[in-house]
Amino acid sequence: MDKFILSLDEGTTSARAIIFDKESNILGVGQYEFPQYYPKPGWVEHNPEEIWDAQLRAIKTALENAKITPEQIAAIGITNQRETTIIWNKDGKPVYNAIVWQCRRTAEIIEDIKRNYGEIIKEKTGLVPDAYFSASKIKWLLDNVPGLKEKAQKGEVMFGTIDTFLIYELTGEHVTDYSNASRTMLFNIKKLEWDEELLEIFGIPDAILPEVKESSEIYGYTKKELFGVEIPVSGDAGDQQAALFGQACFDEGMVKATYGTGNFILVNTGNKIKYSQNLLTTIAWGLNGKISYALEGSVFITGAAVQWLRDGLKIINSAAETEELASKLASNEGVYFVPAFVGLGAPYWDQFARGLIIGITRGTTREHLARATLEAIAYLTKDVIDDMEKEVSIKELRVDGGATKNNFLMQFQADILGKMVIRPVVQETTALGAAYLAGLAVNYWESLEEIRDLWKVERVFEPKMDEKEREKLYKGWKEAVKRALGWARIIGI
């Protein structure tokens, strides 16, 4: 009987299930959306039971589309939106909605903690204190759900990020992996354990925390009533770390960029913990008794800027149009767009920055705006990679995500970096990374070398721009960014 790997890719708005064969081909896909809830401005929640229901339906659809049975699944891998926080009773019933990574309700809690403990937190976890991470979300739940603190102290409830919740629903085991643990702001990435001092700072009892395991090992087997058969659940990684693994970035200095609503750029720093003032230090994965670390830079708005051209300015009908429009011009003719709609992320970290279009003349057209938008995505990515290169040598950039279909953007990215940009055949790198981790644990794939050979190139974009032109364009970008920084503070909004 042929065997396959089932990958569960649980994102911010949908649950997906993808079935891969031994050559990394996709046999079947299931995808179901679930709603987000906004009880107050800046608050973002999910109903965990709706996530679980969507995930089960996605699995069923993927199996049907692949025309296979559960008996043919060799293992299950999980990848997930990171940081999103759930606390549930031992019967699997959540005590409150999931607090999503985007939720800002704990911003004030974090400001106090950052003032007093910012350096300690960065040193122990590699993270900059922010409401983004799980720690303050757990604290909020313990402080605001009646009776929860007492239950937590008695060990009557469980905390987990989305991966942990799904593993618990599938197997009854309460575990997470190193990559997800490293995003809670409670995990010591040097000692590889939950940190007692940080737990004390946030007032969180260790009784509610999951056991932390490698990213590739058997965590448990699916309950028989779910699929009629016990399937090993044996791969787990946060979405961006899974994409790094799915891009076969196994060696120090290998970097991937995922182009979505925003961009996430990760570089493998090997077994060394590298700290950067402007980037996050995180665990990439734990495998075969070894930990791989990464530096991560998040760019908040990239693909969303193209959506704004379509939905806000209404100068394009589809994102794909930007490629043709941008290609009509020989250069940007001095027009720059800084899409700081919600401030700027790495490496600027300026929540008061605002969007700016500069260099406009009477001759400026929608072609200029389309080109400036695509160029901005490439500049923002270069900003992060330049910061990474202060710590580690980088030769090429591996790319995935929807915007990588845009050949103008990919060529300009190669030009402005002065490095090769490589687009793989399989674009589902996040789900593929989770599948590889699951498969390695059950010997479906034997080694990293076997996986490295499976990773196939669809197209390589070689840099064609000369150094002088590159420097001139990037200097213009840096000047435009300077003018966008702090704008909301300057005008008092």
d(CA 8, CA 76): 7
- CA angle, 191 then 194 then 198, to 5°: 105
**188 marked ligand binding residue:** no
* Tokens found for residue 260: 């979505």
* Under 8 Å between Cβ of 180 and 160: no
Measured in degrees and rounded to the nearest 5, phi and psi for residue 347 equal: -95, 10
| Nearest partner of 442 among 217, 287, 163, judged by Cα | 217
**Buried residues in 23-52 as b, exposed as e (16+ CB within 10 A):** ebebbbbbbbebebeeeeeebbbbebbbbb
d(CA 1, CA 492): 66
d(CA 132, CA 83): 7
Residue keyed to tokens 């027009």: 335
Q: Is 452 exposed, middle or buried (0-12, 13-18, 19+ CB in 10 A)?
A: exposed
**263 marked ligand binding residue:** no
**Buried residues in 241-279 as b, exposed as e (16+ CB within 10 A):** bbbbbbbbbbebbbbbbbbbbbbbbbbbbbeebbebebb
Residue keyed to tokens 């970035």: 249
Pair type for strands 420-424 and 396-400: parallel
**14 marked ligand binding residue:** yes
**83 marked ligand binding residue:** yes
The total number of residues shown for the chain amounts to 493
**132 marked ligand binding residue:** yes
**302 marked ligand binding residue:** no
**411 marked ligand binding residue:** no
**163 marked ligand binding residue:** no
- Separate counts of helices (H) and strands (E) for the chain: 17, 23
* Under 8 Å between Cβ of 121 and 187: no
Transcribe 187-249 into DSSP letters. EETTTTEE-HHHHHHHT--GGGPPEEE-SEEEEEE--HHHHSS--EEEEEEEHHHHHHHHTT-
**125 marked ligand binding residue:** no
**261 marked ligand binding residue:** yes
**310 marked ligand binding residue:** no
**240 marked ligand binding residue:** yes
- Residue ranges for the known binding site are 12-14, 16, 82-83, 132, 239-240, 261, 303, 307, 402, 406
- Residue ranges for the known binding site for ADP are 12, 16, 261, 303, 402, 406
- Residue ranges for the known binding site for sn-glycerol 3-phosphate are 12, 82-83, 132, 239
- Residue ranges for the known binding site for ATP are 12-14, 261, 303, 307, 402
- Residue ranges for the known binding site for glycerol are 82-83, 132, 239-240
